Amino acid sequence: MAMADIARTAAVAEVAAPVLRVTDLQVAFQTPHGRVSAVNGVSYEIRPGETVGILGESGSGKSVSVGAIMGLLDSPPAEIGGHVYFRDTDLLNAPPAETRRIRGDRVSMVFQDAVTALNPGLTVGYQISEMYRVHRPGTSKRDALNKAVALMDQVKIPSARQRVRSYPYEFSGGMSQRIMIAMAIALAPDVLIADEPTTALDVTVQAQIMQLLTELREQTGMALILITHDIGVVAETADRVMVMYGGRVMESGPTAEVVARPAHPYTIGLMNSVPRAEMKHEKLRTIEGAPPVLTAMPSGCPFHPRCAKRQPECSRDRPSLQSVALGRESACHFAAEVLGA
Amino acid sequence: MISAITGGYFARRLLTSIIMLVLVMSVVFFADRQIGDPARMVLGTTATEDDVRELRERMGLEDPMWVQYQRFIVGMASGDMGDTFRYGISKPLNHGEIPDSRKTLPIAMDRLPPTLLLGGATILFSVIVALPLGIYAAVRPRTFGDRMVNVLSLAGVSIVEYWFALILILLFAVQLDWLPTSGYGTAAHVVLPALALSLRPIGRITQIARSSMLDELAKPYITAARGRGIPLRKIASVHALKNAAIPIVTTIGDETINVVTGVIIIETVFGWPGIGALTVEALAIRDVPLIEATIFLLVLMVLAINLIVDLIYTVLNPRVRFGA
């Protein structure tokens, strides 16, 4: 299975040009306590049909990085640098009128908490059909509503024809997330960003939503960026993974390889803190300490205060992201040793 | 099913309105019998006690209080609130026009259309001005435009309206001679009183529209809508406004009620032949049945406005239909 994944990733990589290229993304915020940096030099690209997982704890900058891509950060206070190319358009620097047409249409997003991300005052039918009315001017109200019903069927909402006139509060959390997904895939986007799409849901519903997203990606050939703190979800669905910590990329590479042989102590820590069925009487292992606050970022490697393998230089020199194997990078001074261990 | 629940809700609201009406009118009934002797007012200080008592008897004021009260309640229910004291006794009311009837309720109803015209024009104008101002300020907070809107709306709620009315008359009627100082009949006549009355509603509605739009624009569903590429104009005017509407509608309702009470002064200032001016006339001559009829209609208007506001709530917030 792992080999098949690697083979598929390689095949995809050879065939298609990237649909989204993020280069040296920087996000900082002006706060009363000074300027704080939330995302620092994040680069990646994604090709059609590919799934990239962005893995990290809260505060790692994973959500902020996609907020910048989707134009959701107000500046001020946000200061955004770098480039995000969708095909040939730089989403960070192109005129707002141009990027607005791409957002929701070619690049769309599913939010963490669907219940608050849906407008409580408008019917779900209106909100889904609005995608066509806004991005496909000339679509009649009736056409758009019929398409909304079809989409609700596609995301497996029972009796869609009746429920199209319902308000969000009449739906469960899982059903609300399906409606968010319906809106996001309405115009068959090239890139779908899912920001913790299952965090607010019950475990059984989580699996259904992940399965739905995977199916939709397979049907449409869209690229999927999956943001999560759950390494299990990444392992199951993502072709490639990017591990973030303190606004920086700690490690990246094909998921199967990263999970099999992590190249960064933080990744090891994340994997060890996953509860397993066989560890009945063992205490759940966690990473000591807490993620850094943005206003007090540690010197050197941002992870060094919590790192089991830290050496004196870790607090002095910040390790840069280096290639450690084919298609794999790690930002650890001792990546080679970690990988070899 | 929804309409059945809504129907029950409105039956309850209607019942409370009727109870409110009876309570308010009862206060009016007892109060207006304490503001001086209407018979003495008619006959003057030189009349004998016997003459005054005889007139009081004819006015029904010598009957026991509970008999008068019973007559009053039955009168409201049957739509016959008695005869005016003054008409037929001395000069007719209504600016020299002879009313068809001595019945107070028809006399008061005759004065309703001018008041509805003035009140309607005032509220319509206020909403047309205030809503865009409030939304404009909310979508660009802390900018120069926002601050200007803040200053203007604060001025609107702070300036006393009858003073403002006099300034308007001085400027536009006396100095510039663009508009008539007072009276009724043409479109030009409605401009100054409506302007004077709309000052406060414009200020209040702008303030509430701005603050409730600001609240809504900060919510996650707005961020999500931006992520879907929905134009800012549509986000503000559809997505945020739909949810900000309830406090705005409440304020429009409150201000409409304020206009209903405000007409009492403004109609007198501008010689506007509405129900407010008639109320003042009736009070001045202690015409008890006429006072009761005019106030009855004013209270009825206030209660109707509240009911309409409630009705709009159910349209705006789907959850109200199911709740209590």
Domain boundaries, chain B: 2-104, 112-273
- pLDDT at B57 exceeding the cut of 60: yes
Q: Is A107 in CB contact (< 8 Å) with chain B? A: no
For residue B277, what are its two tokens?
């001016």
Q: What whole-number percentage of chain B has pLDDT above 90?
A: 52
For residue B235, what are its two tokens?
């986000």
Q: What whole-number percentage of chain A has pLDDT above 70?
A: 94
Report ipTM (2 d.p.): 0.85
For residue B227, what are its two tokens?
């992520």
Q: Is A234 in CB contact (< 8 Å) with chain B? A: no
pLDDT confidence band for B304 (50 / 70 / 90): very high
Compute the nearest-CA separation of A123 from chain B (Å): 9
Contact: B220, A117; criterion CB under 8 Å: yes
Residue of B121, B210, B208, B201 whose CA lies nearest to B157: B201
Of the candidates A116, A130, A184, the beta carbon closest to that of B230 is on: A130
Contact: B227, A108; criterion CB under 8 Å: yes
Contact: A105, B229; criterion CB under 8 Å: yes
pLDDT tens per residue across span B255-290: 999 999 888 889 988 889 999 999 998 888 888 899
Q: Which amino acid is at B251?
A: T
Question: Mean per-residue pLDDT for B50-57?
Answer: 88
Residue with tokens 């966690």: A286
- pLDDT at A339 exceeding the cut of 80: yes
pTM of the complete model: 0.80
Question: Mean per-residue pLDDT for B181-190?
Answer: 83
Q: Is B52 in CB contact (< 8 Å) with chain A? A: no
The answer for residues whose C-beta is within 8 angstroms of residue A206's C-beta and 6 or more apart is A198
Between CA A289 and CA B312 the distance in angstroms is: 54
Between CA A201 and CA A233 the distance in angstroms is: 14
Compute the nearest-CA separation of A102 from chain B (Å): 7
Q: Is B231 in CB contact (< 8 Å) with chain A? A: yes
Question: Mean per-residue pLDDT for A188-194?
Answer: 94
Name the residue of chain B whose CA is nearest to A118's CA.
Answer: B221
Q: Is A66 in CB contact (< 8 Å) with chain B? A: no
> What's the distance, Cα to Cα, between the start and end of chain A in Å?
23
- In eight-state DSSP terms, residue B6 is H
Compute the nearest-CA separation of B297 from chain A (Å): 36
Question: Mean per-residue pLDDT for A220-246?
Answer: 92
Between CA A87 and CA B92 the distance in angstroms is: 84
| From the candidate CATH numbers 3.40.605.10, 1.10.3720.10, 1.20.120.1080, 3.40.50.720, the one assigned to the domain spanning B112-273 | 1.10.3720.10
Residue A252: strand pairing partners: A242, A329
Of the candidates B226, B230, B243, the beta carbon closest to that of A121 is on: B243
Residues of A in contact with B318 (CB under 8 A): 121, 167, 169
